[in-house]
Amino acid sequence: MFKNLIIINFLYFLFISVAHSNIEIKARTAILQDFLSGEILYEKEPDRSIYPASMTKIMTSIIAFDLIKSGDLSLEDKFIISENAWRLSTAGYSSMFIMVGDEVSVEDLLKGIIVASGNDACVALAEGIAGTEEEFAILMTSKAKELGMTNSNFSNSSGINDPDNYSTVKDILLMSNYLIKEHPEFYEWFSEKEFTWDRTGGDPITQGNRNPLLYKNFGADGIKTGYLAVEKYSLASSIVRKGRRLVAVGSGFETKNSRSRESRKLLTYGLTNFDLVQINSKEEIFDKVEVWLGKENFVDVYINEDIYKIIKKAQKKLLKVSINYYGPIEAPIKKDQVIGKLKIIYNQELVSEHDLLATREIKKVNVFSRLMKSLNYLIWGDV
């Protein structure tokens, strides 16, 4: 009565005649990830310690965004600018150009951080939220640990020179992914090309976004540049093309031009050498399986997650997706009951397994019906 069933749902044979060559990115350390699948497409010393410079400001923004999301902070809240913050409004620093005693809204400070890369805005926001920048840095490091950024420590809110302010491109990638996933409405600010600060006691100041990829017209929508003399140039970047997002982080670019050129090269490599396949949408029924002794003969199954896989364009590849269950499944069946596994095999290797869940309850038939089904099985077999 019971048997192992394997139903092949997808079978992809990709015959690609054009082979790709490995690329070399001119940076000390770099990483590239497909956002939806989470798969790493390129990496170069991803765990090497770096000074993240102004990429630190991604975490500064995240702390504020989390507080806004929880209701503990509002974009309309205003903070009074201290002398500590104002001192970073001088020449030689990336600045929003706020003045001592100004009352500046959280929204303006955040845009001053994200678009103008203002170090002064970072300190003002940190002091307004936590009292001191040192206390705010503790919040930043705690959040980093929560996100799995095991090789990072934050000692200030702006990323200015400090040996205790360190990270890796892999950790910056984790932080960037969190920003995009958890705060999509605020992430849009990272694509804004300019910000105008209507400052006190002077004409408004308009500054452009320092991310060079935003001006290349090829789909970049973030994220953050960085520079320190000891680290050279760095960039966390992201591109969206035809519904697909790639995220890259690089550090140790020798020049501004190479930062732009090599980052674009890395993102283009991901777009042109890999295909993204959606295997499952958590909003849809995946398939159905046979039921034994139930009031219905089949039950629909689903997987409670979106599943994406990357396929390399360079070679003949094979992707199999199969339903595996020991069945038919005997009733009663509860809603959301695990009744099988989805197995994903890529290039003859098991990539991942996912629980198949029943979409609804299936009740058992009455005694008379069960008897008749059992007799039919004995006489006619599994029909």
- Identity of the amino acid at 125: L
Q: Are 157 and 122 in contact (CB under 8 A)?
A: yes
Closest CA relative to residue 317, chosen from 345, 340, 294, 337: 345
The answer to whether 17 is a known catalytic residue is no
* Residue tagged 């699948």 (tokens): 37
- Out of 37, 44, 57, 89, the active site residue is 57
Catalytic residue among 37, 44, 54, 61: 54
Number of Cβ within a 10 Å radius of residue 182: 13
Could you tell me whether strands 349-358 and 298-302 are parallel, antiparallel, or unpaired per DSSP bridges? antiparallel
Catalytic pick among 82, 94, 95, 117 = 117
Is residue 117 part of the annotated active site? The answer reads yes
SS (H, E, C) the chain: CCEEEEEEEEEEEECCCCCCCCCCCCCCEEEEEECCCCCEEEEECCCCCECCHHHHHHHHHHHHHHHHHHCCCCCCCEEECCHHHHHHHCCCCCCCCCCCCCEEEHHHHHHHHHCCCCHHHHHHHHHHHHCCHHHHHHHHHHHHHHCCCCCCECCCCCCCCCCCCEECHHHHHHHHHHHHHHCHHHHHHHHCCEEEECCCCCCCEEEECCCHHHHCCCCEEEEEEEEECCCEEEEEEEEEECCEEEEEEEEEECCHHHHHHHHHHHHHHHHHHEEEEEEECCCCCCEEEEEECECCCEEEEECCCCEEEEEECCCCEEEEEEEEEEECEECCECCCCEEEEEEEEECCEEEEEEEEEECCCECECCHHHHHHHHHHHHHHCCC
CB distance 157 to 123 below 8 Å: yes
Q: Is 181 a catalytic residue?
A: no
The CB density around residue 87, as the number of other CB atoms within 10 Å, is 13
Nearest to 40 by CA among 50, 52, 49, 32: 32
Hey, which residues are catalytic here? 54, 57, 117
